[in-house]
């Protein structure tokens, strides 16, 4: 299936989703603009997503902004050579320091962050989660944003759980397993469904719940 490359692909996916699941037409109408959320692959992109783990979008942007101001460009080699005090100045927790360093070592030892984007999703996720500190959520979000994989739905994402629960009247909000089950009917466009529900979350809460796009978004 084609990768998500532009807003026309988003529109195509939304049309298909609304046909497959008519409930989503109402959600689409209330979600407003559904952003592309596609950015350049690479170590900096993955590092931004690691920083975004279990913190608010605003906090993630602030922490990553401090990190990139201290290390520019943010490369595996630069991170591995950096003084440990840089992590403190950026505001990174110890687990995130370890995850970033593990990802940097993997990159320095040959893990091709660009090459992951042309692989089958399951194979790419497998290679990423083999890196200590990188879980399935991080791998899935990387492939959504960096590779434009069309059929990935990060069911561990709390904002997505909240948005789907609110939109579909599921109370309490669905957990990971239930959300995986619900999202099955949105295949092969689960990557667009994730963007739709992040957009819905934004209108529902008045703030963005999606992990921030780390590099200048592609047109």
Local structure of 56: helix, strand or coil: coil
Which pair of structure tokens corresponds to residue 40?
A: 């350049």
Per-residue pLDDT for 134 more than 50?
yes
CA distance 161 to 159: 5
Q: What is the mean pLDDT of residues 103-111?
A: 96
The per-residue pLDDT for range 175-206, each reduced to its tens digit, is 999 999 999 999 999 999 999 999 999 999 99
At residue 190, the pLDDT reads 97
The per-residue pLDDT for range 40-62, each reduced to its tens digit, is 999 999 999 999 988 888 899 99
At residue 215, the pLDDT reads 52
Burial string for 109-146 (b: 16+ CB within 10 Å, else e) reads eebebeebbebebeebbebbbebebbeebbbbbbbbbb
At residue 214, the pLDDT reads 62
User: What Cα–Cα distance (Å) separates residue 7 from each residue in 10, 27, 36, 156?
Assistant: 5, 18, 6, 25
At residue 56, the pLDDT reads 87
CA distance 16 to 49: 28
The residue written with tokens 């992590």 in the block is 87
What are all long-range contacts of 16-20, with beta carbons under 8 Å and residues at least 24 apart? 16/189, 17/186, 17/189, 17/192, 17/193, 17/196, 20/185, 20/186, 20/189
- Place 104 in a pLDDT band, splitting at 50, 70 and 90: very high
Tell me where in the chain the CATH 1.10.1670.40 domain(s) lie: 7-37+151-205
Tell me where in the chain the CATH 1.10.340.30 domain(s) lie: 43-147
At residue 1, the pLDDT reads 61
Burial string for 160-174 (b: 16+ CB within 10 Å, else e) reads bbbbbbbbbeeeebb
In the chain, the percentage of residues whose pLDDT exceeds 70 is 97
Superfamily of domain 43-147: Hypothetical protein; domain 2 (1.10.340.30)
At residue 212, the pLDDT reads 84
Tell me if the domain spanning 7-37+151-205 has CATH number 3.40.50.20.
no
CA distance 20 to 18: 6
Local structure of 166: helix, strand or coil: helix
Per-residue pLDDT for 217 more than 60?
no
The per-residue pLDDT for range 137-188, each reduced to its tens digit, is 999 999 999 999 999 999 999 999 999 999 999 989 999 999 999 999 999 9
């Amino acid at each position: 299936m084609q990768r998500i490359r532009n807003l026309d692909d988003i529109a195509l996916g939304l049309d298909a989703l609304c046909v497959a699941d008519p409930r989503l037409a109402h959600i689409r109408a209330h979600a407003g603009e559904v952003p592309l959320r596609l950015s350049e692959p690479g170590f900096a992109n993955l590092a931004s997503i690691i920083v975004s783990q279990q913190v608010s979008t605003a906090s993630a942007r602030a922490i990553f902004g401090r990190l990139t101001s201290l290390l520019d460009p943010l490369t595996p080699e630069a991170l591995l050579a950096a003084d440990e005090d840089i992590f403190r100045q950026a505001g990174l927790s110890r687990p995130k320091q370890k995850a970033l360093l593990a990802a940097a070592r993997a990159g320095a030892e040959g893990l091709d962050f660009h090459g992951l984007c042309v692989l089958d999703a399951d194979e790419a996720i497998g290679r990423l989660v083999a890196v200590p500190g990188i879980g399935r959520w991080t791998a899935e979000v990387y492939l959504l944003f960096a590779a434009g994989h069309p059929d990935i739905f990060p069911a561990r994402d709390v904002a997505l759980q909240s948005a789907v629960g609110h939109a579909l009247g599921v109370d309490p909000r669905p957990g990971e397993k239930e959300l995986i089950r619900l999202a099955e009917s949105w295949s092969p466009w689960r990557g667009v469904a994730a963007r739709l529900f992040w957009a819905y979350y934004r209108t529902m809460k008045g703030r963005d719940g999606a992990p921030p796009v780390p590099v200048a978004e592609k047109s």
